[in-house]
Every structure is written in C-alpha cells, then in structure tokens.
Structure 1
Amino acid sequence: MGLRINQNIAAQNAYRNLSVTDNQMSKSLEKLSSGFRINRAADDAAGLSISEGLRAQVGGLKVAVRNAQDAISVVQTAEGALNEVTSMLQRMRDLAVQASNASLDADAKNAAQKEFAQLGEEIDRIGSTTAFGKSKLLDGSFGTTQELVGTKTTDPMPTSVSFDVTHLGDNATALVPPISISASVAADATAQDLAAAINTSLSTALKAAGHQGNELQISASVASDGTGVTWTASGSKEFTMANGIADLDIASATPSGASANPTSGDFQIGANSGEKLGVVISKMSTDSLGISTNSLSTTAGASAAITALDSALKTVSDQRADLGAFQNRFEHTINNLNVSVENLSASESRIRDTDMAQEMVSFTRSQILTQAGTAMLSQANQASQNVLSLLR
C-alpha cells in the first residue's frame, strides 16, 4: 500500500510540474508571437498603465508633427501670394515714378494709370481669394478671433491726425502710458495716403509698447460723390481711443461686434491641451495698404503714390518676414517633436515590448522542462504498472 501511495504522489508531482511548465511555455509563445511583454493587464498592471500613457503621448506628438507641417503649408501659401503682391507693388512704384516726370503727356499718364489701376485690382483679388482649403489667408480674418470696428465720416479730409490708444486688450485695463499716434500728409494727398501714414506710425508705436504691431489698423474710403471720407478703425483686440482722428472722436468707446466668419490661426503643435502656436496674417488690400488706385492722374498724386507704395512695400515685407520666421519656428518644432517621439517610443518599448533574446531563452527552457516532465510522468505511470505486475 505504501509503495502504491508514494508512486501516485510522484505521478501527481510530475503532472503538476508539467502543467506549470506548459503554462510558462504558452506565455512565452504568446510574447514571442505578439512581440509584447504585456499582452493583458495581468502581465504587468503598473507597466500597462505607464505604457498606455506613453503611447497616447506618442500618438499625439505624431499628429502634432502633421499639424506643424500643415502650418508650414499655410504659411508658404500666404507668403507665396505676398511674393506676387510685392512684385506688383514694385511695378506700381515704377509706374508712379514714371508718372511723376513732367515730360509725360496726358496720354502717357493715362496709359500708366490704367496699368496702375489693374495692378491694384489684382492685389485686391489676391487678398480676397488666397485660401488654404476654405480658410481665407489674406483677407484679415486668419488668426483674428474677433474683428472690432469703429467708424467716423469726415468732410473735408483732415491733413493731420493725432489720438491716444488708451486701451488695447481683452479686458478693461487701461494702457499706462497710452499709445500716442500722430501723422500728417501734404494738402493734396489722398485719404489712403493719410491712412497709410497713420498705420505706419501706429505699427511703430504698438511694437514699441510690446505688441505685434498689427492689432489695430486704420483704413479710409472716399464717398462716391467725393464729399466725405469714412475712417474705419479695426483690430483683433478691444481698443479705446481718447481723441480719435483729428479730434473727431472716432471709436471713443470700446467697439463691439464679432466678425461673421473668424478663422482661428492657432495650430496644435503638442500632444496636450493648450500647446498651440498662433499665426496672425494681416489684411492685404489696397485700402489696408493705403494705396489709391487712381493717383497717377496728376503729377502730385503720382509723387504721393511713391510714398504710399514705399509704406505698402514695407508692410508687405514685414508680413512676409513674420511668415518666414513662423515657418522656421515650425520647422524647429517638427524637429523637436520627432526627437520626442523617438525617445518616448523607446521608453514605451522598454516597458511593453518583449526582450526577444531573454524570452527565447525562457521558451527553450520551458520546452526542455516540458519534454523532461513528459518523460518523468511516463516513468511515474510505468512504475504503477510495475506494482500491478507483482499481483500477477
């Protein structure tokens, strides 16, 4: 009896060890076939939690890389259009210089004026139609979350302006000290010439105060009958002017009202909420650039047009420089994101992926133990048969 019991225990031990070894070999096969050390939470609960967090970061960063690449495409599209605008402004300036010469007769000036006007219309067309997908880029809406506007009509047109911007921002905090603006033009200058002079002074003052310089702009439009000029102050932030244009109280109260279709210029360049980079593109049109398309009919008008075009060229060049700087920044952002993806992927791999060499050693060990366990179980069963042979 004691002999049979001992042999049954030996067989049970052999079976138990064989079962454990077979389970280990199954796990090794799963890890080797999937390539993952963690195939379910039970394999490593803490490691699974960490690796899933890293995996989410890696996925977000890869999408952020594509977002930054799209941002570069947007910037390149806008800058490419402005390159052509620059060429047209250069040609318009050449025409203005030519028309300023007293040797030109009326027919020659008329011919120059026709080309000048056509170029101006093309600048307006490019400004209103240049788009990336359905997002307009050069109409002043890109990157502007709200368009705040104040207007005032004057008759006759003033030749000098002065005003203080006492508030510029998203709350009621006053500017201390206020931003002071002054500009003047010759008596025969156009309203657009004065608007261009104002914007040049305004941009300089805004940048000196720590702003980008394009948060607030002035434009002018002349009535069809020539009796009055409507001045428009518009910006992407709330603003308040203390005196207004030529003390005429334009937008003396904070304007209100949002544009109908604002376009966000924020690009998500990170895996987490709030990791964005904003791009603002100013409006590019003859009005916003302070160019009168009918200024070559007189020698004085042509001379004034040269000054206005110099200002317009500077405005467009500054915007192109900003876009170029944004493109360089996005390229560096992409490089940084790719490095982060590489490092985080390596970290996630060390936690979650199978060490193939180590797991192959474990699998081979389990194979050997399975073969040995099977042989030993067979021997244990054979021993029981030997006991039965004593009864024969």
Structure 2
Amino acid sequence: MIINHNMNAMNAHRQLGVGTTKSGKSMEKLSSGLRINRAGDDAAGLAISEKMRGQIRGLDQASRNAQDGISLIQTGEGALTESHSILQRMRELSVQSSNDTNVDVDRSEIQKEVDQLSQELTRIADTTEFNTQNLLGGDFKAKFHIGANQGQDITLEINAMDAKSLNVAGVIGEKAEVKGVTGVSVKNLTENEITIKYETLKGTKAEAVEKTTAKLSDDGQTITVTLAQAAGDDTNAGKITASKADIVKALKSTGAVRVEVEKGTDLAADLDATGAVPADTAVAKGEISKEVGINVSSQEKASKAITTINNAIQTVSAERSKLGSYQNRLEHTINNLNTSSENLQASESRVRDVDMAKEMMEFSKNNILQQAAQAMLAQANQAPQGVLQLLR
C-alpha cells in the first residue's frame, strides 16, 4: 500500500476532467443551437457553412434588388398610364375637329387643348423619376442585379415618351418656307470650324419647327450649325455645335446634322462656311426639313392627326407591354430566388445546426459520468487513510 501516488484518485480526477469538458461543450451547443461554434468543432463543416451563408445573403439581397426593380417599373408604367389617357383625349379631339360642323374658331379652341395636352405629355416624361433618375426621357438604361454572383443581371431600357418623340407635339403659327440656300465650296480657311447659317424665312411667324436638318459633305472637321437672328420681333437666335467625331459619324450614317428649335420660332437662313479644312472641301446644297406635331386646324389635318395619334398610342402600348413583361419576369425571379435561398438555408442548417435531442442525450450521459467521477474521486481520496490503521 502506497500513499505518495494515489492512482485511483488520479484516474478519477482525469475522468472528472473529461466529463466536465464534454458537458461544457454540450451545454454550449444546447445554448447556441449550433453544432459548430468554432473552427475546432468541425473545420471542413465551418468552411462549407460560411460559403453557404454568403450565397444565402446574396440571394436574399438579389430578391430585394428585383423588388426595387419592380418598384421602378411600376413608377414608369404608372406615368405611361396617364400618357395613354392623354393620347386618347387628343385622339377624341382630333375626331371632333375632323367634323366640318366645326368652324375655324372651334378648331382653334380644340387646338389649344391639344397643345396643352402635348405639353403635359412632355412634362410627365421630363418629371417621372425613381431615386432621382429620369425614366421616360429616353436616356434611361439600367441593369438589375438579380443573382448572388457576378454578371447575373438583366438590362432595361425605356424609350423616350415625350410629345416630340411620339410625334404629337403641338403646333403654333403659320407655315414658312426657306429660300436662298446655296452650295458653298471651302478652300484653306483658317479657323478650325465650319459654320452653317440659313437665310430669311417667309411668313409672319414660322411654323413650329422641331427638327431642322442640314445636309453636309463629310470633311472630317468640327461643324457648327448656327441659327442667326432674323428680321421680326418673334425671331430668336440659336446655336448648336457637334464634335468632330459625332459629325463624321452622322455624315457617314445619315448625311445630316440635326438642329432643334423651339416651336413658334421664326428662322433666318443663309449658307456659308468658315474654318481650317482641306482644300476643295465642299458644303453641299443646303436642305431644311421640318417635322411638326399635331395640327387640327382643318378637317384634313385633323384627319391625319388621328393616324399620328394612333401610332403614338401604339408606341406607348408597346412600351407599357415591355415594362409589364419585365415586371412579370422579375416576379418569377423573386419566387425563384426565395426558393433557392430557402433550400440553401436548409442545407446550411444540416451542416451547422445541432440536433437538440441527440445533444441532450450526450449532455445527460456526460453529466452522469461527471457526477460519478466526483463520487469516485471522493472515495479514492479516502483510501490512503487505511495506512493509519497499520501505524497504530
């Protein structure tokens, strides 16, 4: 019998430590609900779980992105709903003006309402925004990121829906015509630009010219188109400059430079050119084409306006249909993203979450072993006292 090394007590103490450690881990898992609380619990399982968590959060955010996209589409489509109503009213007025029971005074009043409706179409297009982004001005192009990974997006473009783009801009004033436009040959000029001007227009007030086209030769230089001041109180001057790259592209594709003029503006027109250009560069004979909007001042014009407005209605309908199809697509996308996220969360749960029933069973076992080890340690500590009986 020895007293320096109580092997029974040491063994009981070791078993008590093991039981205490296991009980502590079981308590940690039961209190957190997770099987993996640190990398040491399951290194590979932790890595898999974290990748799944990243994918899950990405899918959830993609779903929110798609919902934001639907909100944007609904904003634009709601504005187009009112544009449709305006066009229907304009068509109704055109049909009314097509009836010769109306006299010029009646048609003049109808034209006033048509002009106001046209302006409202443009106002709606200019002011319809989502998060400060204009939707109906013709410049909107956006990508909706609808996936958890790179490159998983769709692109939406919304065409211009203002009165000018729909060819239903209002018309004010009388017809005017261009005269005195001639061809000019340019040789070795000194300034790095070409300027085109137009001579006087006939008529007291010019027609509501929305787009003026000057046809030019391709000289590769920067071109400036200037609308100069003409005689009369109602004439305004304007100027537009196109860069070299833009003008060369325009000339090669359409042979035209476009100038926009506010309606009701009188124009002065003549043709000349200045600028540092290659020898024998020619400016072709000038042509001005005028595109006007809805005019219901006569039976014939009102009848034509019906067709123009029909085309505008079809254009808006096509745009609304496109937006509706994108919205339906995004709704299905959201359903798919939510389903994918749910399935991935189930997979991640199987990797990381603890089986509470099984872990409780382990905890009970370890707790009993811990208590037994404590009792045996107490008994082992009493064993060396038997040596005292030998010493009496």
TM-score, normalising length: structure 2: 0.67
Amino acid of the structure 2 residue aligned with 1:346: A
Q: CA deviation at 1:299?
A: 2.2
Counterpart of 2:143 (choices 249, 255, 266) is: 266
Asked if structure 2 preserves the Cα contact closer than 8 Å seen for 1:281 and 1:319, the reply is yes
Percent of aligned positions with the same letter in both sequences? 54
Q: What is the SS of the residue equivalent to 1:87?
A: helix
Deviations 1:192-228 (A, max 9, x none): xxxxxxxxxxxxxxxxxxxxxxxxxxxxxxxxxxxxx
Q: CA deviation at 1:287?
A: 1.1
Equivalent residue, structure 1, for 2:170: 293
Asked if structure 1 preserves the Cα contact closer than 8 Å seen for 2:66 and 2:146, the reply is yes
Distance 1:297 1:10, change over 3 A: same
Structure 1: 5+ residue stretches without partners? 144-264
TM alignment of 1:93-108, pairs within 5 A = 93-108=91-106
Q: CA deviation at 1:11?
A: 1.0
Q: CA deviation at 1:300?
A: 2.2
Distance 1:142 1:389, change over 3 A: farther
Equivalent residue, structure 1, for 2:156: 279
TM alignment of 1:1-392, pairs within 5 A = 1=1, 3-4=2-3, 8-143=6-141, 265-294=142-171, 295-392=295-392
Aligned residues: 269
Equivalent residue, structure 1, for 2:238: none
Q: What is the SS of the residue equivalent to 1:284?
A: coil
Asked if structure 1 preserves the Cα contact closer than 8 Å seen for 2:98 and 2:302, the reply is yes
More helix by share: 1
Q: What is the SS of the residue equivalent to 2:344?
A: helix
Asked if structure 1 preserves the Cα contact closer than 8 Å seen for 2:119 and 2:169, the reply is no
Deviations 1:134-159 (A, max 9, x none): 1111111211xxxxxxxxxxxxxxxx
Q: What is the SS of the residue equivalent to 2:144?
A: strand
Q: CA deviation at 1:322?
A: 0.7
Asked if structure 1 preserves the Cα contact closer than 8 Å seen for 2:33 and 2:353, the reply is yes
Provide the rounded CA distance (Å) in 2 between the counterparts of 1:346 and 1:307. Answer: 59
Q: What is the SS of the residue equivalent to 2:6?
A: helix
Q: What is the SS of the residue equivalent to 1:280?
A: strand
Q: CA deviation at 1:383?
A: 0.9
Provide the rounded CA distance (Å) in 1 between the counterparts of 2:103 and 2:389. Answer: 135
Asked if structure 2 preserves the Cα contact closer than 8 Å seen for 1:267 and 1:276, the reply is yes
Asked if structure 2 preserves the Cα contact closer than 8 Å seen for 1:296 and 1:302, the reply is yes
Amino acid of the structure 1 residue aligned with 2:23: M
Provide the rounded CA distance (Å) in 2 between the counterparts of 1:35 and 1:41. Answer: 16
Amino acid of the structure 2 residue aligned with 1:119: L
Q: What is the SS of the residue equivalent to 2:34?
A: coil
Deviations 1:253-293 (A, max 9, x none): xxxxxxxxxxxx11111111111121111111111111131
Amino acid of the structure 1 residue aligned with 2:72: V
Q: Tell me which structure has the larger Cα radius of gyration.
A: 2
Provide the rounded CA distance (Å) in 2 between the counterparts of 1:271 and 1:381. Answer: 63
Provide the rounded CA distance (Å) in 1 between the counterparts of 2:143 and 2:169. Answer: 33
Q: CA deviation at 1:104?
A: 0.5
Q: CA deviation at 1:389?
A: 3.6
Q: CA deviation at 1:106?
A: 1.2
Equivalent residue, structure 2, for 1:173: none
Distance 1:105 1:9, change over 3 A: same
Deviations 1:304-354 (A, max 9, x none): 211111110000000101111111111101110110111000101110111
Amino acid of the structure 2 residue aligned with 1:9: M
CA RMSD of aligned residues (A): 1.2
TM-score, normalising length: structure 1: 0.67
Provide the rounded CA distance (Å) in 2 between the counterparts of 1:306 and 1:387. Answer: 121
Q: What is the SS of the residue equivalent to 2:154?
A: strand
Provide the rounded CA distance (Å) in 2 between the counterparts of 1:346 and 1:329. Answer: 26
Structure 2: 5+ residue stretches without partners? 172-294
Q: What is the SS of the residue equivalent to 1:278?
A: strand
Q: CA deviation at 1:387?
A: 2.6
Q: What is the SS of the residue equivalent to 1:274?
A: coil
Asked if structure 1 preserves the Cα contact closer than 8 Å seen for 2:8 and 2:380, the reply is yes
Q: What is the SS of the residue equivalent to 1:279?
A: strand
Equivalent residue, structure 2, for 1:229: none
Equivalent residue, structure 2, for 1:162: none
Deviations 1:37-75 (A, max 9, x none): 111111100000000000001111111111111111111
Asked if structure 1 preserves the Cα contact closer than 8 Å seen for 2:138 and 2:159, the reply is yes
Provide the rounded CA distance (Å) in 2 between the counterparts of 1:308 and 1:366. Answer: 86
Asked if structure 2 preserves the Cα contact closer than 8 Å seen for 1:292 and 1:305, the reply is no
Deviations 1:223-269 (A, max 9, x none): xxxxxxxxxxxxxxxxxxxxxxxxxxxxxxxxxxxxxxxxxx11111
Q: CA deviation at 1:390?
A: 2.8
Amino acid of the structure 2 residue aligned with 1:291: V
Amino acid of the structure 1 residue aligned with 2:306: I
